């Protein structure tokens, strides 16, 4: 019995290495054969990772410092351009050249609004028409524009009438309530009819028919807070000793930096206020 048991044990042990190593020596079937040399796995080239993006890069990357947004720049104020005549009797022409007809003449010191410059000529307005003046006889300057487009429209209407004759008591454009009046003409204005016309044409504002009725309209503006587009009401030598609204004898449109657009005694013009004119100042009103 012992001999049989030992023989069976020896036989069993002889099979253990065969099963343990069987997979090592097993040949692959045709379906498990290695891929051919021209297969994508063999022909595809595998590049090393880029050193700048590799996770194994030994040098730590330095992130760019965050950039703080630039503060918004302040808007550049828009300006209106003007020219002042530096000679006497300078021709105002219908076109940019000496061959064009003469519409009138500019006196020394008179100021005109500039629409644009064409070569050596400034394009401007004169008595309701576009006109041209030779640049060599004028010096240029600017005034800051209002941010209110209605104000600039009113002023533009005033520009068109520079040079228009002054006529005291000229027929008004409307009756103060919007009813148009017969006999009105843009060929003549006095100070209050000029203001009434340009405010209606530029902004649809209804101003009354004379300075003493206009001065109680709109909003009162302290002298220290004058703005482009405000109307300034003055007294004069004949009325300075009167009281209340009866002191008022003249009105002008303020353009800034002491410049006004108005008409008084001769024709509509732009000019800088003198000390004498300031001495007649009574109050200012704002209609826009």
Query: How confident is the model over 228-265, as pLDDT tens digits?
Result: 999 999 999 999 999 999 999 999 999 999 999 999 99
Euclidean distance between CA atoms 203 and 158, whole angstroms: 12
Decide if pLDDT at 39 tops 80. no
What pLDDT does residue 75 have? 64
Radius of gyration, CA atoms only, the chain? 46
Beta bridge partners of 281: 234
What pLDDT does residue 63 have? 55
What pLDDT does residue 78 have? 94
Digit-coded pLDDT (tens) for 120-177? 999 999 999 999 999 999 999 999 999 999 999 999 999 999 999 999 999 999 999 9
Kindly report, as residue ranges, where domains of CATH 2.30.30.40 are found in the chain: 79-144
Q: Tell me the two tokens of residue 80.
A: 């209106």
79-144 CATH pick, 3.10.20.30, 2.40.110.10, 3.40.50.1100, 2.30.30.40: 2.30.30.40
Q: Decide: 102 and 63 in contact? Cβ < 8 Å.
A: no
Number of other residues whose CB lies within 10 A of the CB of residue 162: 23
Euclidean distance between CA atoms 194 and 18, whole angstroms: 123
Please state which of the ranges 76-85, 135-144, 212-221, 249-258 shows the lowest mean pLDDT.
76-85
Euclidean distance between CA atoms 250 and 214, whole angstroms: 11
Decide if pLDDT at 7 tops 50. no
Strands laid side by side in the 281-286 sheet: 138-144, 79-85, 111-113, 268-272, 259-263, 250-256, 231-234, 281-286, 219-221
User: 191: closest CA among 96, 61, 280, 80?
Assistant: 280
> What is the rounded average pLDDT for all residues in the chain?
83
What pLDDT does residue 14 have? 46
What pLDDT does residue 30 have? 37
Decide if pLDDT at 102 tops 70. yes
Give 130-156 as a DSSP string. EEEEEGGGEEEEEEEPPS-HHHHHHHH
Mean pLDDT along residues 29-43:
38
Kindly report, as residue ranges, where domains of CATH 3.90.1720.10 are found in the chain: 149-286
Burial of 192 (0-12, 13-18, 19+ CB in 10 A): buried
**Architecture field, domain 149-286:** Alpha-Beta Complex (3.90)
What pLDDT does residue 267 have? 97
Q: Tell me the two tokens of residue 231.
A: 């109307």
CA 34 to chain centre: 76
Helix (H) or strand (E) holding 46: none
Euclidean distance between CA atoms 191 and 167, whole angstroms: 9
Q: Tell me the two tokens of residue 101.
A: 């007809």
Decide if pLDDT at 97 tops 50. yes
What pLDDT does residue 76 have? 64
- Please identify which residue in the block is written with the tokens 């000019």: 271
């Amino acid at each position: 019995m012992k001999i049989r048991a030992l023989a069976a044990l020896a036989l069993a042990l002889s099979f253990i290495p065969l099963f343990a190593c069987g997979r090592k020596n097993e040949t692959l079937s045709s379906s498990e054969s290695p891929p051919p040399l021209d297969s994508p796995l063999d022909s595809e080239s595998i590049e090393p990772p880029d050193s700048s993006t590799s996770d194994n890069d030994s040098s730590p990357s330095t992130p760019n410092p965050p950039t703080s947004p630039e503060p918004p720049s302040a808007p550049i104020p828009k300006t209106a351009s003007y020219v002042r005549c530096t000679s006497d009797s300078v021709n105002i022409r219908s076109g940019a050249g000496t061959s064009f007809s003469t519409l009138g003449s500019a006196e020394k010191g008179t100021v005109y609004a500039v629409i644009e410059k064409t070569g050596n000529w400034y394009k401007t307005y004169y008595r309701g028409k576009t006109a041209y003046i030779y640049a060599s006889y004028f010096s240029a300057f600017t005034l800051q524009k209002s941010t209110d487009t209605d104000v600039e429209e009113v002023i533009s209407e005033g520009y068109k009438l520079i040079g228009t004759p002054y006529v005291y008591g000229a027929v008004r454009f409307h009756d103060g309530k919007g009813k148009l009046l017969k006999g009105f003409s843009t060929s003549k204005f006095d100070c209050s009819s000029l203001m009434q016309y340009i405010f209606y044409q530029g902004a649809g504002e209804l101003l009354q028919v004379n300075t003493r009725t206009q001065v109680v309209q709109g909003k009162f503006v302290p002298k220290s807070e004058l703005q482009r587009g405000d109307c300034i009401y003055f007294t004069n030598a004949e009325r300075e000793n009167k009281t209340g609204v009866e002191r008022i004898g003249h009105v002008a449109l303020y353009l800034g930096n002491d410049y006004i657009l108005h008409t008084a005694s001769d024709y509509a013009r732009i000019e800088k206020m003198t000390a004498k004119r300031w001495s007649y100042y009574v109050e200012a009103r704002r209609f826009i």
